[in-house]
Amino acid sequence: MIPRDASQTLTRLAKGFPVIAITGPRQAGKTTLARNLFKDNLTFL
């Protein structure tokens, strides 16, 4: 996986918020990023 600058920010935000929205263009790696960061606790729509 390509290292993402947003990884550290998302990890920090996840500690303070129960829900995080990851937005961006199609095929930018949003789902892959979420799956890799939150392997144990992932629910998405």
What lies within 8 Å, CB to CB, of 35 at 6+ separation is 42
pTM of the model: 0.73
What lies within 8 Å, CB to CB, of 14 at 6+ separation is 20, 37, 38
pLDDT in tens, the chain (45 residues): 667 788 899 999 999 998 999 999 999 889 888 888 888 877 765
**CB–CB of 20/14 below 8 Å?**
yes
Two tokens at 5? 């600058």
Q: Which amino acid is at 6?
A: A
Two tokens at 26? 């199609």
For the chain, the straight-line distance linking the first and the last C-alpha, in angstroms and rounded, comes to 22
